[in-house]
Chains A and B, each alone.
Chain A
Amino acid sequence: MRARLGHAELPNPIVAAAGCAGAGRELAQFVDVAKIGALTTKSIMTEPRTGNPAPRLAETPSGLLSSVGLQGPGIDGFLQRDLPWLLSRGARVIVSVAAQTVREYAALATRLSDAAGVTAIEVNLSCPNAEDAGRVFALDAAAAGQVVAAVRSGARYDIPVFAKLSPDVADIVPVASACVSAGADGLCLINTMLGMSIDPIRMRPVLAGLFGGLSGPAIRPVAVRCVWQVHEALPEIPIIGTGGVSSGRDALEFLLAGASMVGVGTEILHDPSACARIQRELEEELAAMGVDRVADIVGQAHAQRRLAR
């Protein structure tokens, strides 16, 4: 069940997705964080941030709309309190970073590189670019590439940099290629999709922030499609496939599409011990198929298709 993340070896390919595992402490009441392949933090920014007003969440069919607005402690608070705690528990930590300018992203990467113990940096590109009229980095291949290049040069050489991409683009492959050309060691696919919910009785948007990110099984087919397309174009690049995974079988679907690790996000809200359960279920699925190594089935769905042609 082992998986590789840069120089680190993970005991299994299950990764707790950004924003769904809190700072780790919340989950540790229900699962051993050291047994999760890796835990991705909520996106860390330079300063503490309140995030958006409530209501921030809306339940939709097989999905969840959220507009939390990156509430968090800021990099200082994270390095003082959260990171040392996670490391003390033996967790492998992927730190998600978010910023409003390219330079700020780079500075965060440098701060994280100075702290010992960060397994990887995930670049949350679904943030408005303050230097480009609030246009979201992830929607523009050039801007996404600039951020990744800056983070790559700010981060220590041996810390892998993963770019987390948005599905809200006409074609995700050029954005993925731009990130890889800029030095990304891997990709995380996908972030939430922009959605909206309106309360027909109050006749108002449900979320205070109007729009929110849609997550959960509702977006799983979109995520599988993105992983498939990117793996087809860039077969050597490690992918963390994320989007609506709620069982071992769902995780298997992502591996077959070309992901080498699988993120578990919204399902953690529904089942706080989801990471441990999905890892166990995936292990059972693989054993039933007679597969010893996860790497043996990564992208296998493509191979079947090639054979059929």
Chain B
Amino acid sequence: MAESASAPVQVRGTVLTVRRLDAYHALTFVAPAIATRFRPGQFVTIAVGGPSSSMLGRRAFAVHDVRPDHGGTVEFIFDAAGPGTRWLASLRARDVLDAVGPLGRPFPVPREPSSCLLIGVGHGASPLFSLAAKLRERGSPVDFLLGAASADRVIGALTARRTARSLTVTTTDGSLGTRGPATAMLEQVIREARTEVIYACAPITVLRDVCLLAARYEIPVQACVDVPMACGTGVCMGCVLPVTGNDGITRIVRACVDGPVFRGDLVRWDDIGTIPFDALGAPGWKPVRVPGGTQVAGGTPETRHAG
């Protein structure tokens, strides 16, 4: 029942390859309907464990890349760290997957060519490479900053070195590039590349640090959040985080349908995992009825604090 060319579809996709990628795995499956609809930043969900699986939650994976071969293939990169992902790693060519996608809000790209810095940590970096290709097509220079715990968890370094204007790598154990977190090199990269837009895919704490620093340089950040999801379609309400809208009101929104890409300055990073007192509908929150009958939340920040 796809309603438009961009609406997600549920398909049975045939596995083409499952290959090791250092510490991770990459799975490619045939799904033309997903591949043709895909835009960088979107994700797929996969049912794991087979038809009589005891694992009810779908697993969400950022799409690494889509290719036109076999009518359209989709690839994602994952860490086989749990029972669901280990099952995926055990699949072979010609096995069939229940896949839904493409899901979520993709990365917006600048209208004018802009200097773009793409920050990725671990396999979280996977959606950045199709984004980089799209940015380059539109004339935007791309710099990469890739961080990971160790060298075998840095993905796409070769691709980045070949295609991007610059590549900076950091690892926690110093086994590749500079020793330390990705954020340690951020300021230097921003200055050297004269970064105008940042795209970041990383754990929440890293995204928060990136957004803090970017705010000092007044650089907009498009942050792709990595939060656990159970359905990916918006029904389970599991993947929520507090995000401020353009109207100044904080809402508890779903990463799967309202994200996973958010404007970094609108996410209340320090409040993730809590319900901020001023969020729409929070305990004690009262609607303010204004003349004309429309309903707004909690009034101005001043009245909220006074209340």
Contacts and interface: CB of A to CB of B under 8 A. Distances in A.
A61 B54 contact: yes
B100 interface: yes
B7 interface: yes
A71 B252 contact: yes
B281 A57 contact: no
B257 A57 contact: no
Contact of A64 (B1, B10, B56, B273): B56
Interface stretch (A48-56, A120-128, A157-165): A48-56
A75 B272 CA distance: 27
B1 A50 contact: no
Contacts of B56: 59, 62-64, 216-217, 266-267, 269-270
Given A48-B281, A71-B252, A53 B98 contact: no
Q: How large is the interface on A (under 10, 10 to 19, 20 to 34, 35 or more residues)?
A: 35 or more
Contacts of B257: 26
Given A57-B57, A59-B230, A64-B56, A22 B1 contact: no
A50 B10 CA distance: 30
A285 interface: no
B286 to A, nearest CB: 8
A50 B253 CA distance: 9
Interface centre among B2, B8, B10 (most CB of A within 10 A): B10
Interface stretch (A27-35, A167-175, A182-190): A27-35
A57 B236 contact: yes
Contact of A269 (B236, B252, B283, B295): B236
Nearest to B250: A50
Contacts of B98: 271
A11 interface: no
Contact of A20 (B228, B235, B281, B283): B235
A301 to B, nearest CB: 23
Contact of A54 (B58, B241, B281, B282): B241
A54 B227 contact: yes
B44 interface: no
Given A54-B272, A269-B57, A48 B1 contact: no
A272 B233 CA distance: 8
B230 A64 contact: yes
A32 B281 contact: no
A110 interface: no
A59 B281 CA distance: 27
B281 A269 contact: no
B287 interface: yes
B182 to A, nearest CB: 24
Contacts of A49: 281
Given A20-B235, A22-B235, A270-B47, A54 B273 contact: yes
A197 interface: no
20 contacts: A20-B235, A22-B235, A26-B234, A27-B233, A29-B3, A30-B233, A48-B280, A48-B281, A48-B285, A50-B285, A51-B281, A53-B275, A54-B227, A55-B273, A57-B238, A68-B237, A76-B295, A268-B235, A270-B47, A271-B98
Interface of A: 20-22, 25-32, 47-57, 59, 61-64, 66, 68, 71-72, 74, 76, 208, 216-217, 266-273
Given A28-B3, A68-B238, 20 more contacts: A20-B236, A22-B235, A29-B2, A30-B8, A47-B285, A52-B275, A54-B241, A55-B228, A57-B228, A57-B238, A59-B55, A66-B238, A71-B281, A76-B295, A217-B54, A268-B231, A269-B57, A269-B230, A270-B56, A272-B231
